[in-house]
Amino acid sequence: MIRLVRVLAVRLISVGLVGLWLLGGACAPTTTPPASVAELPVATPPPTATATATPPSTATATPPPPTATATPPPTATPVPYSFGEELRTLSGHSGGLWALALSPDGNLLASASDDGTVKLWNWQTGAELATLAHTAGVRGVAFHPTGTRLASATKDGKVLLWDITTLAAPELQATLVEHTDEVAAVAFSPDGSLLASAAKDGTALLWDVASATLDKALLGHTHWLESVAFSPDGRTLATSSLDLTVRTWEVATGAPELILYGHTSWVLPTAFSPDGQLLVSGSHDATIRLWDAQDGTPLGVLDGHTNEIRALAFRPDGRLLASGAEDELLKLWRMPAAELIATLEPGSSGAAVLFSPAGDMLISGHGNSLIKVWYVGGVE
């Protein structure tokens, strides 16, 4: 009996313990359950989602893009001159000027005067370097492409060739005497093999420079000649005359090519544009005419001077044309628009004009024997 009671008591205690465990197991400390209840189904709680709080990323501020530093435009080298400003005057001749020429390197200036001399100058300083004496007034002057020789044309019908390698002692090399009257102009071919001369005897002559002999005569004008000009490629020669025409010639054969009519009075200076496409002529009728150098088509007339045109020259890039006239004015024309952009007042007739190699200086020779240098840079 007592044994039965003990068995029942043990079982009641076991059942009570199990009940307590079932009621409080979720909160009970984790212990190993008694072996007697190990086989009971245990409700596995759903896995607790461990929310691992990801710390907010520290926003690293992206630096702003670098500030664009504006590149300043290139600063033009300051020029202490204003456009059209007269920079210097070269004096030394005792007679009016007829012609000017620049050496190929642009450093040496030659001037031809009615006083019977050619003078050589450093035009940038105004220093006179040499004087070449002649027996009559000198109307034309030209540098050989090598810069070591010079040709001059005189009123007594001569063409002179000079060696100017040594400026301290220029040497007369040859005197060419085929013309029978005043020689008005001379010009070397671009390759230096030929020299052209134009005279009041109505002829243009081509000379072989190496031998100083006559190569050929160009005949056709009916009055005296005033100018000669080679095209940049050396294949064509232009001449002008008091017969009111401009003529062009094939240099290789001496054959006439074009006869250009349009001026109403004597035709005086002529010039080719640097690209050889344009031929310009100036006249006693106070106009400058523009011609297509290939076929002679008239392209326009520049009015502005009030007396005969004595000088014409293109800037090396061909975009400016300078003119000098007996109205004592120099004019600058934008080409090919043929637009007058400036008038300079030298106070004497403009017998000769030319540009420096850089195109920013204009050199002019005048009837009062003076040479002037002008700033004409900064113009397109």
- d(CA 335, CA 325) in angstroms, rounded, equals 19
Q: Which domain holds residue 270?
A: 95-375
**Total domain count, the chain:** 1
Tell me the average pLDDT across 141-157: 98
8 A C-beta contact, residue 138 and residue 131: no
List the CATH number of the domain containing 339.
Answer: 2.130.10.10
C-alpha 79/C-alpha 87 separation (Å) is 12
- Within the chain, where are the H helices? 2-24
Query: Per residue in 361-373, pLDDT tens?
Result: 999 999 999 999 9
Q: Is residue 150 part of a domain?
A: yes
- pLDDT for 276 equals 98
Evaluate whether residue 7 is within a structural domain: no
pLDDT of residue 18 exceeding 90 = no
- Cα separation, 177 vs 154, in Å, equals 10
Compute CA distances 210 → 149, 159, 213, 252, 300, whole Å.
11, 15, 8, 16, 40
In the predicted structure, residue 337 carries a pLDDT above the cut 50? yes
For 262-286, b where at least 16 C-beta lie within 10 A, e where not — what string?
Answer: bbeebbbbbbbbeebebbbbbbbbb
Q: What is the pLDDT at residue 380?
A: 80
Question: Does residue 312 form part of some domain?
Answer: yes
Domain assignment of residue 360, yes or no: yes
Mean pLDDT of the chain: 85
pLDDT single digits (tens) 46-84: 333 333 333 444 434 444 444 444 455 444 446 689 999
Residue 49 is predicted with a pLDDT of: 36
Statement: residue 327 has pLDDT above 90: yes
Q: Is residue 354 in a domain? A: yes
Would residue 168 count as lying in a domain? Answer: yes
pLDDT for the residue 78: 61
Distances (CA, A) of 352 to 22, 149, 167: 129, 21, 23
Domain assignment present for 193: yes
In a domain? residue 113: yes
